[in-house]
Amino acid sequence: MGWAAIKMPHNWESCFLLHARSFGDTSIIADVFTESSGKISIMAKGAKNPRSKFFGHLLPFSALRIIVTGKSEMKTLTQIDSNYASQSVKGPHDLYTYLYVNELMMRLLPKGLPNQELYNLYQNFIELARSDAISELDLRVFEFDLLDVLGYGINFDTDSKENSEFKDSIMYSYMPEKGFHQSGDDEGFSANEIAAIKSRTLEGIDKLKLKQLSQVAIGACLDGRELSSRNFFKKIRI
């Protein structure tokens, strides 16, 4: 999967802010996804003070360049490139997309294990989100790719029960952590649809079926824990 042992650099490194919360009256604890060190937690001391060099830069969904120090799991933020910091949330739909994707990253990524393939996947998705509105199919592609990179990928090659190739005349249902198997009725996915999902050619496939497939596959990785972002989505009703 491309994981490597963590080695914290003492120079500038690129990262994305996944989550931030207040610590005490003046400080912020943030979880960031760095290119060279993976997901790490950082303490930004005094960041809520308007006179702090960190003030106003640890914004949700920001791309950052930072320097951190420390040998413990909680690193200390010492520098931030204010010219590099960026933020772009255009509306409620974009806000939900960012919240959802970042919550997936928070829940599914182990700490302190860099993965270049995963970093590139996340970076490309964020760049797409900033340049254009993310479609529902774009989000499905990211979800399926994320599962693949993390080692939770769906088996799109064989019937999980028969251990045979998919047949054109049969419909298939998906079972979490096992894969597709004959559904016994007309519901589910055809062999052509399964092949299309594998190649990420999702146009023409029922969007609700795709959403249900991704939710079931991701849900198995979350061990039954509900995503807070989905509750947010229900409240704003977009």
Strand partners, 38: 34
- Structure confidence at residue 234 (pLDDT): 61
Residue of 224, 214, 176, 203 whose CA lies nearest to 100: 214
Chain centre distance of CA 229: 12
For the CA atoms of 55, 61, 62, 66, what is the dihedral angle to 10 degrees?
80
Q: Mind listing the pLDDT tens digit of every residue in the chain (238 residues)? A: 555 544 544 689 999 999 999 999 999 999 999 999 999 999 999 999 999 999 988 987 788 999 999 989 999 999 999 777 665 566 566 778 888 999 999 999 999 999 999 999 999 998 888 777 789 999 999 999 999 999 999 999 999 998 999 999 999 999 998 999 998 778 899 999 999 999 999 999 999 999 999 999 999 999 878 888 877 666 655 4
Q: Tell me what pLDDT residue 226 has.
A: 84
Burial label for 225, CB within 10 Å (0-12, 13-18, 19+), is exposed
Could you give the domains of the chain? 13-80 (2.40.50.140), 89-238 (1.20.1440.120)
Q: The whole model's pTM is what?
A: 0.87
**CA-closest candidate to residue 77, choices 43, 106, 31:** 43
3-state secondary structure of 234: helix
The span from the CA of 145 to the CA of 152, in Å, is 10
